[in-house]
Amino acid sequence: MDEIVIKVENLGKRYRIGQYVGYSTLRESLTNLFSAKFRSNHNGGHPNKGNQYIWSLKDISFEVKRGEAVGIIGRNGAGKTTLLKVLSRITEPTEGHAQIRGRVGSLLEVGTGFHPELTGRENIYLNGAVLGMKKREIDRKFEEIVEFASVRPFIDTPLKRYSSGMQVRLAFSVAAHLEPEILLVDEVLAVGDFEFQKKCLGKMEEVTGGGRTVLFVSHNMGSIASLCPKTILLEQGHLVMHGDTNEIIEQYVSSGIDSCGEVTWDDPTTAPGNHKVRLQAVRIKSKGNVTNDVMIDEDICVEIDYWNLSENAILYTGINLRDKMNSIIFGSANWPSANLIKDEWAKKPRPVGIFRSTCVIPANFLNDDFYYIDVNIADQWNQWQTKGTKMVISFMVHDSGEMKKEVSGEWGGVIRPKLSWSTEYLGDNSEISARRK
């Protein structure tokens, strides 16, 4: 079990700004080769002249032992997917090296390793052959793969007819069941539904229990914490921490807390949204002040400012509240059926201009911890109009100390509401016994 199966030393990956870094067909590769030669000839023999570069990974070193499940976390652009691509031999490193001992199965993007013109059945055998398996080995696993993926009615349908969710189910099932010694899984599982994600986590636990190794990239801290005892934290291409998962999640979450409790967008042409509506600001307020640090016994006001760019638009505003594990605690919107009060602009056409929607989270509702908020705005057909606003702002709730004086240890759970309790005297023991007779 102490055998090292992944050893990464001083790994770096550099891209030229503007360079396409996805997966290429043979035709695209030849075209790119010709284009590079053409550019070289027209740059006076200096193909790098004037080019700008960015390091997606820089000086990464770590080891993973056989049978370990290791999480990889970090914000968008931290280099998580690039690292898995290098380990999968999809991308060549610019410097350093990675030694891998064992057969690698990877699930990095929808459709990766699949041929869209081939059927589901043919793709299963194709993937098995790529992994170096014999046909009889694939035959033995075939029914289990199809059953897990829940694609039996479509198994002889070309993959290009599959939805993205069906492709992910089949791809994960193939990667997990064809017995790779090392399984690399990216956030692509988020495409699947909740029940399938639970199945995948269970399967990955089974894989590690069987002595195989898993590297798992996810923004869902709950999934990382439940599956991976160890985690790697990446930040702007650098390895920040590698060790105990709970400690690293605490570090990751605390580093993301906003300094002022407000996020603003000054330019309506680039703010999150579209031609109908765009966000201008999101802020957290407590006792009338903008803050990212609120007391447990104070109301929390979430203010959302936005530009309505379409005359007579009917809009609805909503939020999701997430805990530090990225799990949604609750969702709320100003739809009339979900609102405790009457919103003046509910179901009402609006003039072009700036609007502010405010949601109040009552005092003594949340436990003391870190929280994130997703913000979105929908039109009258309940189509969300603003994208890129997941976990757009964060805040921390602090205990006032009143309840902790009476309770030893920490209160469990995400919410901590004050509920109504009462006690009454029912009589002494003899009276109670007489009543029962």
pLDDT tens-place string over residues 239-252: 999 999 988 887 88
**Alpha carbon distance 71, 247 (integer Å):** 13
Question: pLDDT class for 258, splitting at 50, 70, 90?
Answer: low
Three-class SS state of 54:
strand
Query: Any idea what the Cα angle at residue 206 is, between residues 203 and 212, rounded to 5°?
Result: 110
**Alpha carbon distance 77, 417 (integer Å):** 38
Show which of 204, 231, 255 is a domain's final residue: 255
Side chain identity, residue 113: G
Question: What phi and psi, each to the nearest 5 degrees, are found at residue 283?
Answer: -145, 155
What pLDDT score does 204 carry?
Answer: 85
pLDDT over 80 (residue 21): no
Show which of 201, 225, 255 is a domain's final residue: 255
What CATH number does residue 344 fall under? 2.70.50.60
The verdict on 85 and 26 lying in the same domain is no
The verdict on 85 and 234 lying in the same domain is yes
Cβ–Cβ under 8 Å, residues 90 and 47: no
**Alpha carbon distance 126, 118 (integer Å):** 9
Half-sphere exposure of 235 (CA within 13 A, CB side): 10
Which CA distances in Å does 393 have to 183, 319, 365, 413? 33, 11, 19, 22
What pLDDT score does 59 carry?
Answer: 95
pLDDT over 80 (residue 186): yes
The verdict on 354 and 301 lying in the same domain is yes
- Establish if 111 belongs to a structural domain: yes
The verdict on 192 and 300 lying in the same domain is no
Q: Report if pTM > 0.85.
A: no
User: Which of 260-264, 386-390, 418-422, 431-435 shows the lowest mean pLDDT across its residues?
Assistant: 431-435
10 Å CB burial of residue 324 (0-12, 13-18, 19+) is: buried
Cβ–Cβ under 8 Å, residues 272 and 278: yes
Q: Which domain holds residue 164?
A: 4-14+57-255
- Please give the tally of structural domains in the chain: 3
Highest-scoring range by mean pLDDT, 172-176, 224-228, 298-302, 323-327: 298-302
Question: What phi and psi, each to the nearest 5 degrees, are found at residue 359?
Answer: -115, 135
User: Which of 98-102, 223-227, 405-409 shows the lowest mean pLDDT across its residues?
Assistant: 405-409
| pLDDT, tens digit, 9 for 90 and up, residues 37-68 | 444 454 544 444 456 888 999 999 999 999 99
Average pLDDT, integer, range 205-211 = 84
Long-range contacts of 254-258 (CB under 8 A, 24+ apart): 254/370, 256/75, 256/394, 257/292, 257/370, 257/394, 257/395, 257/396, 258/292, 258/393, 258/394, 258/395
Quote the DSSP letter at residue 113. Answer: T
User: Which of 65-74, 105-114, 185-194, 383-392 shows the lowest mean pLDDT across its residues?
Assistant: 185-194
- Establish if 165 belongs to a structural domain: yes
Averaged pLDDT of the chain: 83
The verdict on 142 and 31 lying in the same domain is no
Which CA distances in Å does 106 have to 336, 359, 414? 46, 42, 34
pLDDT over 70 (residue 437): no
pLDDT over 90 (residue 152): yes
Show which of 234, 255, 276 is a domain's final residue: 255
The verdict on 8 and 144 lying in the same domain is yes
The verdict on 36 and 171 lying in the same domain is no
Parallel, antiparallel, or unpaired: how do β-strands 293-295 and 300-308 relate? unpaired
Q: Which residues of 251-287 are buried (b: 16+ CB within 10 A; e: fewer)?
A: ebbeeebbeebbbebeeeeebbbeebbbbbbbbbbbe
Q: What does R_g of the chain's alpha carbons equal in angstroms?
A: 27
- The share of the chain scoring above pLDDT 90, in percent, equals 41
Reported as type and span, the H/E element at residue 199 is helix 194-209
Cβ–Cβ under 8 Å, residues 234 and 74: yes
The verdict on 292 and 389 lying in the same domain is yes
- Establish if 424 belongs to a structural domain: no
Question: pLDDT class for 26, splitting at 50, 70, 90?
Answer: very low
What CATH number does residue 210 fall under? 3.40.50.300
Side chain identity, residue 274: N
- Establish if 211 belongs to a structural domain: yes
**Alpha carbon distance 243, 246 (integer Å):** 9
| pLDDT, tens digit, 9 for 90 and up, residues 362-414 | 999 999 888 999 999 988 877 777 766 888 888 888 876 666 656 656 677 88
**Higher pLDDT among residues 148 and 434, named by residue:** 148
What pLDDT score does 232 carry?
Answer: 96
pLDDT over 70 (residue 207): yes
The verdict on 193 and 166 lying in the same domain is yes
- Establish if 436 belongs to a structural domain: no
